[in-house]
Amino acid sequence: MHPTTYTSQLDELHDEALLEEFRQGNAMAFEELYKRFWGVLYLQAYRILVQEDDAKDVVQEVFITFWSKAATIEISGSVAAYLYVATRNRVLNLLASKRTYQTHLSSLKHFLADTHNNSLQYITEKEITARMEQEIHALPAKMREVFELSRKTALTHKEIASKLQLSQETVKKQISNAIRTLRHKMAHFSFFL
C-alpha cells in the first residue's frame, strides 16, 4: 500500500483507534495524533505561559513522554483529555519551578536590602558585589555551576538538570542551598563590618 494512501486512512480513524495503532508500534499513528493535537495543546499552554518557547517546550515534553510510554500508557477517558491534562500539569510544574526560582532571588534581594543599615552605608555596591562574587566562587563546584547557570542564563531547572545530567530535584536543592549559604556568608560579612 502506498504511504500516502495509508496516511489518509489514518486521517479517518478516531483518536482511540489511532492510539491502539500507536501502541502496536505504528509511528505514523503517533504522527497523526501529533498533527491533530499539537496546535490546540500549544494554544492551551501559551494562554497560560504567554511565552512561545515555553509553550512549545511544554507540548514537546508531553509528546516525548507520550511516545516513550506508548506500550504502557493507560488512558481511562479520551486521548484528547489525557493530552490536555498532561499539558496542564506540565504548565503548572513549569510555573511552580519559575516561582520557586523567583522566590529564591527575591529572598536574597530582600536580605541584601535589609542589611543596608548604618554600618553598611560606607560600603560601596561594588564592594558588596565583589564580596558576593567571592562567596559564589567559594561554593562547592557542582553547587556553584548549578547556581551560576540559574542566574546567568534563562535555563529552566529542567534544562539545567538535562545539561548537567542531574535530576530537577537536585538542581532545585543546589540552588536553594547556594542561596542559603550566600545569605549566611553575607550576614557574617555585614556583621564584621
CATH code, domain with 33: 1.10.1740.10
CATH of the domain at 120: 1.10.10.10
Q: Angle at which helices 27-49 and 3-12 pack, to 10 degrees?
A: 50
Same domain for 166 and 124: yes
Q: What is the pLDDT of residues 16-44, one digit of tens each?
A: 888 888 888 888 988 888 888 899 889 88
Q: pLDDT, tens digit, for every residue of 169-183?
A: 998 898 888 888 877
* Same domain flag for 70 and 144: no
For 43-52, how does the pLDDT look when each residue is reduced to its tens digit (9 = 90+)?
888 888 888 8
Confirm whether 32 is domain-assigned. Answer: yes
How much is the pTM? 0.50
Domain shared by 74 and 120, yes or no:
no
Evaluate whether residue 178 is within a structural domain. Answer: yes
Q: Is residue 109 part of a domain?
A: no
How many domains would you assign to the chain? Answer: 2
Residue 101 lies in a domain: no
Shared domain check, 85 and 120:
no
Percent of the chain with pLDDT over 70: 75
Cα–Cα dist 139/86, whole Å: 37
pLDDT of residue 125: 56
Asked whether residue 102 is domain-assigned, the answer is no
Least reliable range by pLDDT among 123-127, 133-137, 155-159: 123-127
Residue 108: inside a domain: no
The residues near 82 (Cβ < 8 Å, ≥ 6 apart) are: 73, 75
Instruction: Evaluate whether residue 99 is within a structural domain.
Output: no
**102 or 59, greater pLDDT:** 59
Confidence of residue 191 (pLDDT cuts 50, 70, 90): very low
C-alpha triplet 57, 109, 140: angle, nearest 5°: 70
Is the separation of the CB atoms in 59 and 41 below 8 Å?
yes
Same domain, 136 and 66: no
Question: What is the torsion angle, in degrees rounded to the nearest 10, for the CA atoms of residue 43, residue 48, residue 51 and residue 57?
Answer: -70
Which of the listed residues 92, 124, 139 is the one where a domain comes to its end?
92
Q: Does the structure show a pLDDT above 80 at 7?
A: no
Mean pLDDT of the chain: 77
Q: How many helices (H) and strands (E) does the chain have?
A: 9, 0
C-alpha cell at 142: 557542582
- Comparing CA positions, the residue from 70, 74, 48 lying closest to residue 59 is 48
Q: Is residue 80 part of a domain?
A: yes
Q: Are residues 52 and 13 in the same domain?
A: yes
Domain that holds residue 157: 115-192
One domain for residues 160 and 123: yes
